[in-house]
Amino acid sequence: MAYDYDRPVPKINARIIGWGLRRVREILELDYEEAVAGFGRNAQWLAAVETGFADITPSEVGALLANYGAVPERIRSVLTSLAARPDGPLWLGPHLDRLSGMLRDILTVEAEADVVRAFGLRAVPDLARTENYARVIYEHRLLPQDHPEGDWPLLAARQRHRPGGNPRTLDLIIDHHVVAVFPDGHEDVWREQVEHLLTLSRTGHSVRVVPRSVGFYLGFEGPFEIYEVSAFNDRLSVIHWPDGLGMSPANLVPQWRGIEKVALSPADSALFLNDALHGRDLDRY
């Protein structure tokens, strides 16, 4: 069977599955012929699967990994689950007609990430926003491609999502400006949002604040996120352009580490947030 390598770029889930299968095969030091020996498929098919240009069903993923030999159950479970969702999570379907291919891929990877690290420079990161806060942001940011009535349902689905059915961990760092300044006429919305950040910090997530006293730091380049899929020890860096999310051409982990160095500890950040709620002086941090 011939495979059409000139067709459009494969969807991100197909590429993740292929990358995962290739990584397992290479760790086990199997060449293509050895990997498909006795499996009923040829090496060309496996090469196409590993690059996302051939489809593979969940049962085929399980059978192929069994053919490889000793493969950790966690990796087997993640790859089989991905094969069952070639178009991404089900909740993404109703929104696909207004999403670019890149944004679709970004949200699909986000859905698989069990750790999301997010830096907010002028606003709270998406996955930590309350509905009222998000709607105020939409109103102030309105661009031709924005759909306020559709943006919140999509964001709410992203927030509810549990990768593989497991809780996701948020690791947030926000600039002091996000907390110290609230939108005109929306103090109640701001208060609800800060209280939500405190709740997150008490329920297994990390929330840290960069105080004003730090002055200039790496974060002034703009907000970004890092999606981590720990089953593969892999990550994707995402940046916020004026018109939406985009994949970063660079690994932003070094930048994240630099911002971590100047951020308050989680405990001190909780004190900062609490002081903000009660109108206390924040310049002492």
Q: Domain end: 38, 56, 83, which one?
A: 83
Which range marks the domain in which residue 63 is found? 12-83
Residues of the chain above pLDDT 70, percent: 91
Q: Work out how many domains the chain is built from and give that number.
A: 2
Residues of the chain above pLDDT 90, percent: 47
Q: Indicate whether 62 pLDDT > 70.
A: yes
Query: What is the reported pLDDT for 3?
Result: 55
Q: Domain end: 83, 112, 135, which one?
A: 83
Are both 108 and 160 inside the same structural domain? yes
Please report, for residues 131, 174, 179, 235, the alpha-carbon distance to residue 136 in angstroms, rounded to integers and kept in the order given: 9, 18, 15, 31
Mean pLDDT, residues 157-166: 89
Closest alpha carbon to 138 in 32, 44, 244, 61: 244
The two most distant CA atoms of the chain are separated, in Å, by 70
pLDDT tens-digit readout, 118-137:
999 989 999 999 999 998 88
pLDDT tens-digit readout, 23-44:
899 989 999 999 999 888 999 9
pLDDT tens-digit readout, 139-155:
776 555 556 666 889 99
Query: What is the reported pLDDT for 190?
Result: 93
Structure-token pair, residue 105: 């891929």
